[in-house]
Amino acid sequence: MLKSILSASLILLSVAGNAQSDKSKKVKTQYMQLPSYDVSVTSPSSIGIEFAMNEVSYGTEKLKDTKSKCMPKGGGLKDIIEITAYHYEVPQTLPESYVVAKSLDGTIVYAVKSSEVGASSVKFGWDDKMKQSLCEYWQAAQLKKDWASKATLFKDQEAEAYEEKIYKKAYAEAVNNVSINYVLQEFSVFTAKGKGFNYSELDLAFENALTAYEGISENGYNEKDFGILKESIVVWEKELASADLENKKARINRKIAKGLEENCTRAYFHIMDYDNAKKHAEAFDKLFGNMSTTRSQNFELVAKRIRLQSVAASKNKSSLNDIAALNAKATAEKGDLAGKKLESINVERLKTDYNTLRSTQSLEVADEVKQGEADAIASGELNPYQKFYIDAAAGGAGVIMSLPPSTLSGIPELTEFPKEICQFTEAKQVVILKNKIASIPAEISKMTNLKKLNLSNNKLTDLPAEIGTLGNLETLKLANNPLESLPAELANCKNLKSLVLKGTKIPADQIKELQAKLPNCKIKI
């Protein structure tokens, strides 16, 4: 039996009333970061790392003074006096710099902009320890004299010190990114709490996951802890399948579901199943909708990391099957994997390399996302119109396609109302404008929560009788369609308040008859 690590130290997060809530505990662990090239073909030790920085420049010095505590020559502590002393503050323009790592064949495997252009200042005649002007400069004339002879050397030393600081940090980060490397992280694992329900299975999955993450922290990636995380995932996914997102008092409500989706995302990420990690990350994002919170914003960084590691994993497929070997490489001394240092003074060349890699990575991530989406649609796991399903502030959740079909908008050219949209049975509105929809399927009857349907500027010639089953429909806009008649069943939409028929061919007598049956509906022709 795995050790229990639940304790009074659990961080309990409560909500008002009797609603079920989540509880969580932070865990410190690590994840394996894969490089963006195949380590079975290219050895990290063969990677060359280049660094280049533009020159630091300086502005005109400005005379400053401070009240400095100074000791006269030959005096003691009791003789310390406060005097006015002077120093120069020198404006400093900090340059951009780049780090680029390449394999022996010149392939760029890592590149980063290691510093941005910025403004700062340095001080000549300053005592850093005492935070005051040097006592020897109690006369401004002496400061000016020394500055004249020492300014060039001072500026060179300051510039060299800044470059060395940026270089050391950038090189260390490059080493971490061109080798298989563990990255420390801290995050929360979630379970549930509340009255009237048994959460013992969830608590055990929570407990086991914490144990697994601690094991990974101590021993790196290993099959034992992977197995434990997989067992916890099974429990979390089973509970998510029973979630009732609209009922705060449900055993698995929206708040608890958020935590379980986050659990699944992170666990799949750690066992290097990036496809499932992406699916749960998307589900987590949907639960937050358009809300902007620290938690959802931080999670976007996790989603970005998943996308990048998914691309890296696709290049290291042959190595992922041997976790023990990967762990051995990741825990090896960095000195053996760091690659060789190459100095460079050609900033523009490295800048070009940097932009080239960024462009390549963006395309790779985009292709990865596109392929994943295509696979999910083909398997039936993802509705192809999910990306158009928006939780709009005006009108509520629904499918919004208000621009004409184009590559830029991503909106496809439609000749019929897609049956897949009818699967969004909770939708409050559907808006598809300026397209070529000529027909609506009988499956529209499934959308019983629909309040607004706007299909203006399409190619509709008729409506199905099933339109009359939409009892909650309040607004129906059909402007600029070649409609010649309306089904009699439309009169069953007793909540209809607005019907727009401008630019149609509906006979006046039919409109008059419908108006008599729907006296509370304003018909615009």
Phi, psi of 62 (to 5 degrees): -125, 130
CB neighbours of residue 293 within 10 Å: 9
Determine the 3-state secondary structure of 400 from DSSP.
strand
Q: What percent of the chain has pLDDT over 90?
A: 60
Mean pLDDT value across residues 75-91: 93
Q: Please state which of the four CATH numbers 3.80.10.10, 1.10.10.10, 3.30.379.10, 3.40.50.1970 is assigned to the domain occupying 386-524.
A: 3.80.10.10
Lowest mean pLDDT among 31-35, 37-41, 372-376, 481-485: 372-376
What's the CA gap between 490 and 496, in Å, rounded? Answer: 9
pLDDT at 10 over 90: no
Rounded CA separation 302/266 (Å): 8
**pLDDT at residue 367, rounded to an integer:** 63
Task: Look at residues 156, 210, 372 and name the one whose alpha carbon lies nearest to residue 280.
Answer: 372
Task: Kindly report the average pLDDT of the chain as a whole number.
Answer: 87
Which pLDDT score is estimated for 224?
95
Higher pLDDT: 43 or 237? It is 237
Which of 463, 456, 451, 458 minimizes the C-alpha distance to 524? Answer: 456
| Token representation of residue 487 | 């089904």
Question: What letter represents residue 216's amino acid?
Answer: I
- Residue 184 above 60 pLDDT? yes
Contact 213, 270 (CB under 8 A): yes
Residue 407 pLDDT > 60 = yes
User: In whole angstroms, what is the distance from residue 120 CA to residue 90 CA?
Assistant: 9
Banded model confidence at residue 345, pLDDT cuts 50, 70, 90: low
pLDDT, position 272: 93
Q: For residue 208, is pLDDT > 90?
A: yes
Kindly report, residue by residue over 457-479, the tens digit of the pLDDT: 999 999 999 999 999 999 999 99
The HSE-up count of residue 452 (CA atoms within 13 Å, CB side) is: 15
- pLDDT for position 369: 60
pLDDT at 335: 42
Q: Tens of pLDDT along 296-338?
A: 777 778 888 898 888 888 888 888 888 888 888 776 644 444 4
End-to-end CA distance of the chain: 74
Per-residue pLDDT, averaged over 366-388, amounts to 72
Least confident of 21-30, 78-87, 113-122, 286-295: 286-295
SS3 (DSSP) at 151: helix
Q: Where are the domains of the chain?
A: 11-33+180-294+330-340, 44-175, 386-524
Mean pLDDT of 369-397: 77
Enter the pTM of the model: 0.60
**How many Å separate Cα 197 from the centre of its chain?**
34
Report which listed range, 35-39, 42-46, 146-150, 348-352, is most confident. Answer: 146-150
Best mean pLDDT range from 29-33, 337-341, 373-377 = 29-33
268 touches 370 (CB < 8 A): no
